[in-house]
Chain A
Amino acid sequence: MDVFELVKKAICKVEPGLDESKIVPAALLKEDLDLDSLDRVELALSLEDELGLYLQDEEMGDIITVGDVVALIESKLKVEKRS
């Protein structure tokens, strides 16, 4: 599974009309992609829905870049696989 592509898709869903080429791992969610706190909630819910995961608020709290989101999802998927 290409987690980056999944995250990209979810961001586009939250922020329709966004220039997709801006969504790169180093992009800052707030400054570069204009995602405010409510957008982040929507992003989390959208990813949960897509992946069947549960993302806790404090986990999302440390997220600054697109790469952070990808890393968080990957680690969650790994944990799930192990259990």
Chain B
Amino acid sequence: MVTPLGTGVDKNWSALCEGKSGIGPITRFDASSLRCRIAGEVKDFHARDFVEEKFAKRFDPFIQYAMAASEMAMEDAGLKPGQYDRSRIGVVIGTACGANVYFENAHRLVLQGDLRKVPPFFLLNDSGNMVSAVVAIRFGARGPNHCPMEACAAGANAIGLGLRLIQQGEADMVIAGGSDAGITPTCIASLDNLGALTTKRNNEPEKASRPFDADRDGFVTSEGSGIVVLENLETALRREARIYGEVVGYASNCDAYHYTSPTPDGEGQAECMSLALKDAEIRPEEVDYINAHGTSTLINDIAETKAIKKVFGDHTKKLAISSNKSMTGHMWGASGAAEVIFSLLTIRDGIIPPTINYETPDPECDLDYVPNKARKVMVDTVISNSFGFGGVNATLVLRKFEGA
């Protein structure tokens, strides 16, 4: 994985457990005229550690992040080209916005009248699916290949779709996740003008993302990629693969209500969570922890809280809930996938990362959000929520693997 907290899972996990923020001032462009001038920029990433220089030059950062995260995931899974059946491995990598850095650079040339200088690779980058294609080329993955462009639920839906491909027998393994690199003038200005971003804490950026806190005022854009390798249990056992956990349930749906706002009572999100529990064939009482979408916007955090109460009833007060976005910021399509990785590490290590910057309780968000300090506790079953613009929702249910 690649996030503002670092490149690689270990760096991320220790930062997350220590409650460190990856948010800082925007350095990629002059943001001085915007109300929000902070973001979670990926800082320690060197494309050349993972891909040829030629590749790095040709492809947008969102594709580079995904390539790097896929390399790390495949290495961790112990899968080297030649050691798997190429026709049985698929790739599903989602993105919210695709190649914005590349797009804006190329468009600048058009505005200058330099049409002949527009890179021949522009359209390849601009077709979001190139992210799944280049990963498939790298690993010779000739199975199903998809790129869901599904806003901030893209990464979670990619993992869900990967799960379905395996369940339906179309693939034995799927490289799945999400990637986004949207810290560009157009993207940030658009969200700033939309009023979705935090504006109050430009001078203390690490405090700006504060999900469920009463003084939250919008989300913080960040960037990165999270990629996992999903695998059919049979093949995983046969090759004695390290198993982090089981994806036991998944659901997606749409609020069909508004472009940016969730249903105020969280109805669509509640239904999504219920469907995912049903798919997993488990009762709400079996869930220990919710890795929340928790964006730190006024409306999301209330709607998500209401939705959780609706689904979990009396069990709600026993649930631990936290938002990784308090530290990573909102990596859009990469978030859901990164949060699945974090959820699996929670199961592995028995540590729930905190929701940092939680200072003042909001009467409308009155649950246990694991404030400010990581919690050591055994966790068997986690649900991970991702909700996106357009009202698209995705919930994944993850469980400790207890052996076949």
Interface residues of A (CB under 8 A from B): 14-17, 38-39, 41-42, 45, 48-49
Residues of B within 8 A of A17 (CB): 52-54
Residues of A within 8 A of B52 (CB): 17
Residues of A within 8 A of B53 (CB): 16-17
Which 8 pairs from chain A and chain B are nearest by CB?
A16-B53, A41-B120, A17-B53, A16-B54, A15-B54, A49-B117, A42-B120, A38-B120
Rounded to whole angstroms, the CA-CA distance of A41 and B121 in the bound complex is 10
B124 — nearest CB in chain A belongs to which residue? Answer: A38
B55 — nearest CB in chain A belongs to which residue? Answer: A16
- Give the contacts of B85-119 with A (CB-CB under 8 A): 116-117, 119
A9 to chain B: closest CB distance in Å? 15
Rounded to whole angstroms, the CA-CA distance of A7 and B120 in the bound complex is 19
A-B Cβ contacts below 8 A, count: 21
A39 — nearest CB in chain B belongs to which residue? Answer: B54
**What 15 additional pairs, Cβ within 8 angstroms, besides A15-B54, A17-B53?**
A14-B54, A16-B53, A16-B57, A17-B52, A17-B54, A38-B120, A39-B54, A41-B120, A42-B119, A45-B116, A45-B117, A45-B119, A45-B120, A48-B116, A49-B116
A41 — nearest CB in chain B belongs to which residue? Answer: B120
Rounded to whole angstroms, the CA-CA distance of A16 and B47 in the bound complex is 13
10 contacts between A and B (CB under 8 A): A14-B54, A15-B54, A16-B57, A17-B54, A38-B120, A39-B54, A42-B119, A45-B116, A45-B120, A49-B116
Residues of B within 8 A of A38 (CB): 120-121
Main secondary structure of the interface of A (DSSP, over half): helix
Main secondary structure of the interface of B (DSSP, over half): helix
Rounded to whole angstroms, the CA-CA distance of A38 and B57 in the bound complex is 13
Rounded to whole angstroms, the CA-CA distance of A14 and B120 in the bound complex is 12
Residues of A within 8 A of B54 (CB): 14-17, 39
- Give the contacts of B14-49 with A (CB-CB under 8 A): none
Residues of B within 8 A of A41 (CB): 120
How many B residues have CB within 8 A of the partner chain? 9
Rounded to whole angstroms, the CA-CA distance of A14 and B119 in the bound complex is 12
Residues of A within 8 A of B120 (CB): 38, 41-42, 45
Residues of A within 8 A of B119 (CB): 42, 45
Residues of B within 8 A of A39 (CB): 54
B53 — nearest CB in chain A belongs to which residue? Answer: A16
- Bitwise, B256-297 to A at CB < 8 A (1) or not (0) is 000000000000000000000000000000000000000000
Rounded to whole angstroms, the CA-CA distance of A75 and B200 in the bound complex is 63
- Bitwise, B50-67 to A at CB < 8 A (1) or not (0) is 001110010000000000
Rounded to whole angstroms, the CA-CA distance of A38 and B73 in the bound complex is 29
- Bitwise, B119-149 to A at CB < 8 A (1) or not (0) is 1110000000000000000000000000000
B48 — nearest CB in chain A belongs to which residue? Answer: A17
Rounded to whole angstroms, the CA-CA distance of A39 and B121 in the bound complex is 10
Residues of B within 8 A of A45 (CB): 116-117, 119-120
B295 to chain A: closest CB distance in Å? 39
A38 — nearest CB in chain B belongs to which residue? Answer: B120
B114 — nearest CB in chain A belongs to which residue? Answer: A49
Rounded to whole angstroms, the CA-CA distance of A73 and B53 in the bound complex is 27
A16 — nearest CB in chain B belongs to which residue? Answer: B53
B279 to chain A: closest CB distance in Å? 43
Rounded to whole angstroms, the CA-CA distance of A14 and B52 in the bound complex is 12
Rounded to whole angstroms, the CA-CA distance of A55 and B121 in the bound complex is 18
B121 — nearest CB in chain A belongs to which residue? Answer: A38
B314 to chain A: closest CB distance in Å? 60
Residues of A within 8 A of B121 (CB): 38
Residues of B within 8 A of A14 (CB): 54
B105 to chain A: closest CB distance in Å? 15
Residues of A within 8 A of B117 (CB): 45, 49
Residues of B within 8 A of A15 (CB): 54
Rounded to whole angstroms, the CA-CA distance of A16 and B57 in the bound complex is 9
